[in-house]
Amino acid sequence: MSTFGVDYAWGRPGAAALKRAGAKFACRYLSHDTTGKNLTRAEASELSAAGLWLVVVWETAANRALDGRAAGTADAQAAAAQAEACGMPDDRPIYFAVDWDASASQQGAINAYLDGAASVLGRDRVGLYAGYGPIDRAFDAGKIAYGWQTYAWSGGRWDARAQLQQYSNDHTINGVGLDYDRAVKDDYGQWRVGVSPAKEDQDPMPEYVSVGTTKPQKLAPGKWTNVSWQHDYADSKHQHADSGGPSILWGSARYSMTVAVTVSGVPAGTLIQGRVVEIDAKDDSKFEAGPVQDYVSAGEQTHIVYSLGADTIGKDHRVRFQLVQHGSADAVVNTGGSAKVFFWR
């Protein structure tokens, strides 16, 4: 099971938008930056009040960890002070970024840097953000207690000891560019202002499906059209069984859903609508339509974000997302769309 979250830098999607997108946590920066990259106490309070968890990572220069133990000591001191000012409890970890394809020959300097951080925080509060190699080597050497692994520089491999995985980049929520993450352990370093997550306080961890569009799709006028999904970002339970097709969840289950797609070729001011449908698995002509949400074409490209907070799909039914545009000619659903469905059984 896994928990969906995001990480971002200068932009601020806002707690409401993050919750609509299904995020349970946000990974945020600590650094020497003075232009708005860092987590603030006000932001930490907003996210915490909305029930979102926080995770923090320290990053200055991408290869700062090559400066060794003294650098790790100095950075941990600065990071701890900033985290405390944001309301992080003093038993929670801080991740330190190794944001390049670090080689095995560089691991000695990285480990020394982590030793410096541990001299300030204690080893049980030291985490590392990196690709597979540095994460694997740091865990093997006993230098970290927490790992946040990015798919970059990982060659499709995941270290089973890492608590966090950054599995997809370059997404947008509420106009802010961000990355998708998943927590694969109950304790991944999360906190709220003044709150450490006691076991009984942790949110239930739903399963989820995350899929994307990699091919343009025709959207005929005046006709409800299934959006098909060609790429699986996350589908541990094989819910997107018709890979490349429109069905992204099989019932029975409780679920929530967020879809983000871009439509082009619809004249400005034209109505576009989206809806979820639950199709009988044995007969596509039998379906129940969920709430319809309306959008107005912006012209050349229209960004559609559809959110369904909670619903229940019956046994032997499947969930699909449909669009209809009320122009007079064919339009296109572009590549780069995504859908996320969280479900509980």
CA–CA gap between residue 114 and residue 71 (Å, rounded) = 9
Number of H helices, E strands in the chain: 5, 21
Q: What percentage of the chain has pLDDT greater than the value 70?
A: 97
89-98, 150-159, 238-247: least confidently modelled range? 238-247
Q: Write out pLDDT tens, residues 289-341.
A: 888 999 999 988 999 999 887 778 888 899 999 999 999 999 999 999 999 99
Helices marked H in 6-85: 15-20, 41-49, 68-85
What confidence score (pLDDT) does residue 281 get?
A: 86
CA–CA gap between residue 116 and residue 94 (Å, rounded) = 13
* Cα dihedral 157, 245, 338, 6 in deg (nearest 10): -40
CB 27 within 8 A of CB 52: no
**Which of 207, 199, 197 shows the shortest CA–CA distance to 48?**
197
CB atoms within 10 A of CB 16: 11
What confidence score (pLDDT) does residue 87 get?
A: 93
CA–CA gap between residue 161 and residue 146 (Å, rounded) = 8
CA–CA gap between residue 340 and residue 207 (Å, rounded) = 11
Amino acid identity of residue 15, one-letter, is: A
CA–CA gap between residue 124 and residue 118 (Å, rounded) = 8
3-state secondary structure of 44: helix
CA–CA gap between residue 171 and residue 70 (Å, rounded) = 36
> What is the chain's mean pLDDT, rounded?
93
**Which of 336, 320, 337 shows the shortest CA–CA distance to 239?**
320
CB 282 within 8 A of CB 316: yes
Query: What average pLDDT does the segment 138-155 reach?
Result: 97
3-state secondary structure of 166: strand
What confidence score (pLDDT) does residue 204 get?
A: 59
Q: Write out pLDDT tens, residues 249-278.
A: 998 888 888 999 999 999 999 999 999 999
| Torsional class of 222: left (φ above 0), alpha (ψ -120 to 50), beta (otherwise) | left
Q: Write out pLDDT tens, residues 37-92.
A: 999 999 999 999 888 999 999 999 999 999 999 999 999 999 999 999 999 999 99
Residue 284 in tokens = 């596509």
Name the CA radius of gyration of the chain, rounded.
Answer: 22
Is the pLDDT score of 203 beyond 70? no
Query: What average pLDDT does the segment 95-111 reach?
Result: 98
What confidence score (pLDDT) does residue 200 get?
A: 42
**Which of 168, 166, 165, 156 shows the shortest CA–CA distance to 211?**
168
User: What is the helix (H) or strand (E) element at residue 111, kind and residue range?
Assistant: helix 107-121
What confidence score (pLDDT) does residue 33 get?
A: 96
Is the pLDDT score of 32 beyond 80? yes
What confidence score (pLDDT) does residue 187 get?
A: 94
CA–CA gap between residue 110 and residue 283 (Å, rounded) = 58
Residue 242 pLDDT grade (very low, low, confident, very high; cuts 50, 70, 90): confident
CA–CA gap between residue 87 and residue 204 (Å, rounded) = 24
Domains of the chain: 3-201 (3.20.20.80), 207-344 (2.60.120.40)
